[in-house]
Structure 1
């Protein structure tokens, strides 16, 4: 028996799942502009093209976003197709590039907790631990799995990572346990600044209630 996601209304949109609505709350709290399911595309090489409807487009960050509640719900082949520029999702006129990698697709899972850090010698607040989310990037014919984290100054990207596919495309299934292990909710990143905005955004998204017309 499959579990059906609860459709949820927020900000004038009907989201397919409550998790997607919570990420919209997160973006709003962070002041990040978002578009929900702006358009569907056919992605993949000739003869293998498949329909794909990305969950969000972040115009300010120049990134597509896929939201999934668990790693085993991800269609890996479809996401690799989507992340490959010449037969995947369209690129903006000026793509977002980091160290020669074109950032393509951000993978977001369940809304994570952030942790308040206390200095071991001072006993004072020293920042937060926060999640690192998976980022698919493209460089010289290959798709890479890197990471991204939110800060009050914007979204920081670390695209360097393991190659997960080439533009044949051949997907490296045998390495998924290690290369793809942090797709959802993976890892922790230590924030050296006192990033109250990010902490508040994760908290607002986790605590949002949508029942009976409540405002999250």
Structure 2
């Protein structure tokens, strides 16, 4: 049997027919977190080729909607170019996510600013396997052994396409959910009327808090992994 003879099984969930069970599980994940989404809502021609993006996620916040493209493995250059073209053409930022349906790292809430940021400027080196890697003499200790989870493409073309530690995270001060670098909430639209000084007074220098392993986020991963679709709909 060759690889071309293997196809993902289509999965039905909430009235949608997903092209793969992995996509359906990410839909369960977002439902558990109360995030509104549309699946394959609109097709586009990107550089003259048809493209039907997976999810348009519509959180209720000032940052607006974002595209979420799900891949089961590290994306190819062609897949990256396609999603970059989608972001530039629609004016909506896009995540190309290939991370697993699990928390990507241990709890980091005990770190202070120095241990989180590190003493030196970061120095990244491109690798074919994971997009980038850290130089051994510059890595922050907690990042050693971790691999990137996603690409982020903005409406304006960046000079380089770099994968990153883009993790689902929750603001532990208000419960707002987004995809954030290294799970660090760092800034929340619910507190944009507060000064930096006030934010640090209330929540500390890493305001509001690390949130990639909150009970709610972990429960969403568990709900997505344990969802059963054999009879059509899933109660998660």
Alignment of 1:31-50 (within 5 A): 31-44=34-47, 49-50=48-49
In structure 2, the partner of 1:14 is 17
Greater share of strand residues, 1 or 2? Answer: 1
Match of 2:29 in 1: 26
Q: How many residues align?
A: 160
Q: 2:65 aligns with which of 54, 62, 73?
A: 62
Measured in 1, the distance between the counterparts of 2:79 and 2:96 equals: 14
What's the Cα RMSD here?
3.3
One of 151, 157, 170 as aligned partner of 1:135:
151
Q: Who wins on radius of gyration, i.e. which is larger?
A: 2
Aligned partner of 1:91 in structure 2 is: 91
**Preserved contact between residue 26 and residue 201 of structure 1 (Cα < 8 Å):** yes
Separation in 1 of the partners of 2:79 and 2:46? 8
**1:111-154 deviations in whole A, cap 9, x for unaligned?**
1256775999xxxxxxxxx9963122245652432432112222
Aligned residue number for residue 162 of structure 2 = 145
* Alpha-carbon shift at residue 32 of structure 1 (Å): 1.1
TM-score, length-scaled by structure 2: 0.56
In the other structure, the counterpart of 2:96 is: 106
SS for the counterpart of 2:96 is: strand
Q: What are structure 2's unaligned runs of at least 5 residues?
A: 111-145, 171-175, 183-208
* Structure 1 unmatched runs, 5+: 93-102, 121-129, 160-190
Distance 1:154 1:142 in 2: 28
Once residues 209 and 75 of structure 1 are traced to their aligned partners in structure 2, the CA distance between those partners, rounded to angstroms, is 30
